[in-house]
Structure 1
Amino acid sequence: MSQIRDPWEKYNRKVHEFNNVIDRAILRPVAKAYIRVVPRPIRTGISNFFRNLSQPITVINALLQGKPDIAANATMRFALNSTFGLGGLLDPASKINIPSEQEDFGQTLGTWGWKQSRYVELPMFGPRTLRDVVGMVVDRPLNPTRHFDPESQTGIGVLQVVDIRTQLLSVDSMREGAADDYLLYRDSWMQRRSFQIFGDDDDDDKGVPAYLLTAPVPMAEMAKPAPTPKKNKKIKPRRGVSRPPAY
């Protein structure tokens, strides 16, 4: 991976420590209690539900990236799981082998040429780059929960954070004993994000450890699975789209 641009490291470290305090005091204990109280089939259904909600965002961004096959698969998954899957709680699309991939506007900007971007860690939202902050803002109106009433949005948001943190319990041991938790956290997230956008076509990602490409990394929004590596397909910016500077 190319050199990480972290000019706001002093600020990021303070936010990182704040996020760790919240995680140790609230998120991790709640996630552990959630596992003890809620049966696995119900937890799986909740995870399926949130994964299904991301499909409209994937459809739009796959089209913007010139990936009609991924857009078609996401459309079919959303239609099938939302109807025969009881609103997404079940996943019949996977049973008939419809691939599951996730795309967002941060990935779209990366595909269009915004490869380099400054790292920033946000309170509660965790690691991002400036490019992905822009992507998060653009994707927000595409989330189906925007059509729910405010109380439902709040409840769904809290449940989603708990669901994500529960999935990350298995990787907590990766951070134990780290000489610098911030650097481990930052570098692993940046490597994984680069792989999500450029797959194995980016020469800078050669030699990335397998666990960084497949395992989730702590904090909300980091539980998205890494995409399947693309086979010898070069990603090029679209004609007429200039590459933004590395803001």
Structure 2
Amino acid sequence: MNVIRTFSLLLLALALTACAGKPARDAAPASVAVDSSAVPDTVDAPSAASAEPAAPAPAAVDATAAAGSTGDAAPTDAEDDFAALYGGPAPSADGGEPGRPPYDPWEPFNRKVHSFNNVVDRAIARPLATAYTHVVPRFARTGVTNFFSNLRAPVTITNQLLQGRPADAWDSLGRFMMNSTLGLGGLFDPASKAMVPRRSEDFGQTLGAWGWRGSRYVELPFFGPRTVRDVFGLAGDMPLSPIRTIEEDKLRIGLQGLQLVDMRSQLMALDDIRDSAVDEYALTRDAWLQRRNYQIENDLRGKHARGRDADDTAPIPVDAMPMPNWGN
């Protein structure tokens, strides 16, 4: 029965990744230009070592060319979509040349994975999230979201220290302590009312801040949109997950399943944008790459927006995956 339960949750996780690319986001066609001028990955699959960046779809070329020529003109549809997904204008990754295609030499493989993720999402994850939002009151769903956000604090604090940002790590530690005590284990968020900034960091961002800037895009069956750099980042975050330290399988898998459903329910507002996109894969890829570059640039420049820096709809975090605890 444990095997069946784990397999079912893995299917749910796979479904969730189809939406989790704010994780997944950008314009209708391939939208906002992403910086690809940085050097390629230093660690890569042997079979793809000589692969050239795939040419973007015609729609992507049109969108990025328009973005580079409008100057101060009205926002494009791509920029409007990005604003709807992120709550702000589409950022420039590092002020590089506009109009460059995303670094996606594995696009044929990535599109197949993305299509499979979408099928499972529409069959399983979206109906579960819809039922969750209809049955569970809003205040209870907010408490669940706060709880899992608070559990991400050890990952964030560690990576802020690794990036040489002790002041931010101190803020995150204070937020964690306040919400864990006054917030009853993180169910409430008194730290936000006290104006303590909420931030989210992972080891993929740390690797970017250390110099691994350019990295090819890859979509994973269970973890959704990533770059090769962020795949290695998963290994760095895994030991820091409080949920993964729970030895009782039923409790750990139950929490992970609840976290997956909660994350999918937060993405329901984006379903219309995704469903109406001309190229939903390009929307997911471009928005993910833009967001990651934006986060890394903020890490390097020390610019962290108060209250908006944490990315609650990011792709599946490592602590949400119902995987066995090797070594326990």
Cα deviation, residue 218, structure 1: 7.9
Query: Which stretch of structure 1 is more off in the superposition, 109-118 or 144-153?
Result: 144-153
2:268 alignment partner, one of 160, 163, 169: 169
How much does 1:117 deviate? 0.6
Q: 1:138 aligns with which of 218, 236, 256?
A: 236
Pick the aligned partner of 1:198 from 276, 294, 297.
297
* Identity of matched residues, %: 54
SS for the counterpart of 1:175 is: helix
Q: CA deviation at 1:160?
A: 0.8
1:220 to 304, 316, 319: 316
Q: Please state if 1:44 is matched with 2:77.
A: no
Structure 1 position 185 matched with structure 2 position 218: no
The alignment partner of 2:226 has SS state of strand
For residue 31 of structure 1, give the secondary structure of its aligned residue in structure 2. Answer: helix
TM-score by length of 1: 0.80
Give the 3 Å change call, closer, same or farther, for CA 214–55 of structure 1 in structure 2: closer
Question: Which whole-Å CA distance do the structure 1 matches of 2:222 and 2:288 have between them?
Answer: 15
What is the distance in 1 between the residues matched to 2:131 and 2:229?
35
Mapped partners of 2:222, 2:161: distance in 1: 30
For structure 1, the residue ranges without an aligned partner over 5 or more in a row are: 203-212, 222-247
Asked whether the 8 Å contact 1:146–1:153 carries over to 2, the reply is yes
| RMSD between aligned residues | 2.0
Match of 1:89 in 2: 187
Please say if residues 209 and 300 of structure 2, whose CA atoms lie closer than 8 Å, have aligned partners that are also in contact.
no
- For 1:143, the aligned partner's letter is S
Residue of structure 2 in register with 1:7 after alignment: 105
If asked which structure has higher relative contact order (CA below 8 Å, sep 6+), I would say 2
- Residues 55 and 78, structure 1, Cα contact 8 Å, conserved in 2: yes
Residue 219 of structure 2 aligns to a residue whose secondary structure is strand
Change (3 A) 1:172 1:193: same
Q: Counterpart of 1:22?
A: 120
Q: Alpha-carbon deviation of 1:2? A: 1.1
C-alpha displacement of 1:216:
7.2
Q: Give distance in 2, aligned partners of 1:214 and 1:57.
A: 12
- Change over 3 Å in CA distance of 1:215–1:49 after alignment to 2: closer
Per-residue CA deviations over 1:63-86 (Å, capped at 9, x if unaligned) read 010111110011111111112211
How far apart, CA to CA, are the structure 1 residues paired with 2:118 and 2:312? 16
Residues of 2 paired with 1:177 and 1:145: CA distance? 36
Deviations 1:147-167 (A, max 9, x none): 212221111111111111111
Which residue in the other structure is 1:206 paired with? none
Task: Rate the CA distance shift 1:172–1:52 in 2: closer, same or farther, 3 A.
Answer: same
What is the SS of the residue equivalent to 1:176?
A: helix
CA 1:218/1:84 → structure 2, altered by over 3 Å: closer, same or farther? closer
Number of residue pairs aligned between Structure 1 and Structure 2: 211
1:73 aligns to 2:171 (yes or no):
yes
**Cα shift at 1:201:** 7.5
CA contact (8 A) 2:198 2:310 kept: no
SS state at 2:275 partner = coil
Structure 2 stretches lacking a partner, 5+ long: 1-33, 37-101, 302-308, 318-328
Contact 1:168 1:216 in 2 (8 A): no
